Structure 1
Amino acid sequence: MTGPSDPAAGPWLFEGPAEGRRDTPPARKDAGGALPEAVLFDRDGTLVADVPYNGDPARVELMPSAREAVAAVRSLGIPVGVVSNQSGVARGLLTRRQVEAVRQRVETLLGPFALWAVCPHGPDDGCGCRKPAPGLVLAACERLGVRAARTVVIGDIGADVEAARAAGARGVLVPTPVTRPEETEASAETAADLLQAVRLALRADAADRTAGGPR
């Protein structure tokens, strides 16, 4: 039997309303098929301010342009999801209920996401889902019914873009004061803020560059 943070149990998946998923896709404003099939955001330091091991919804604070960035993706009928490491669960600092409470607060501020994929494991647990491993991205893509090669992952640290690369997806880095210089240098695509990252992600010519990648 596996426990809630046992690596064998895989990531936690929280699904949003059916209309945000690919089994009942919204009308997409992409006649040429060049836009991403999904955009996945990191949570802490990307969508919301990074409060270590936060289980308190009252401490959730949006990052600059988060609301506009998410709205821009949704306006095109593209599913949006969240991929987040939450090692506080494995460390005994967070419960599943607290993780869900913070998720619900984020959705109160930003609207419902099609999917959340959360890794509850610690860095030494040897799971396949903790970023920079590809498991969270792959699990999200599978559940959404999209191709990793046509998915964009946006995050604030190297592990986010490395997870995207390992999954065959495209990564866009939005550096913050906690982003190491070497992570910024190693990222193929960087943006000054979330809204710029989304604009970069939605560029048709950039999307075309990933179309022939791993499926």
Structure 2
Amino acid sequence: MSSAQNASRSPDPRSERSSAALAEAMMRLARETPLNELTITRLVQEAQVTRPTFYQHCNGIQDLAQRVALANLDRAIPENAAPEATATDGAQLSAHVASHVCAALDHLEENRAFYLNVLDHAGSVEFFEGIIRLLTAKMVADAFAALRRADPEAAEDLMQVLAGGVMWLVIGWLRSEAPKDTPAAMSRRIGQTVATLLLSAGASARV
């Protein structure tokens, strides 16, 4: 491969800087301004980029907000690590799932206003599907290793159901105005729920 070809495949530093500036501007502005009131003009001024640059990175305000939310969640959720638990050890499995969930909940709590704004004004089927893909890939996939070996199709279905359930539990937690569980307490609740359902599915698969 020629050096020119290598260069053409290298990340463009200017594009990366523009993308980062837009993401940072979105995070700042969307904490206080509803997305349906936020204009592209204001956003590009905040990011110090041009309108054509904005459209090189996204299709609109809602699209950018979704992209920023999913990218930040991706970074907030730890990479998969093989659980120390066996498939039948509910307490260790619950703790393992909770440890993955807690990092994401800490991030959501810290940036609550931004994520509620995205949910209220940029929520879509594609956005929720993106969240579920993240959850299945990074938060619960490793806990399903034993069930995958026994029944791959059942494991995939259960992962989708669990990820969707976890997503709605977290959204309800994030929306709550009343005193709510801390991220650590909520992550333990989710870990216990996932472990209970997973172990029940594993027992059913062995019958």
TM score, norm. by length of structure 1: 0.33
Structure with the larger helix share: 2
Higher strand share: 1
Q: Which has the larger radius of gyration?
A: 2
Normalising by structure 2, report the TM-score: 0.34
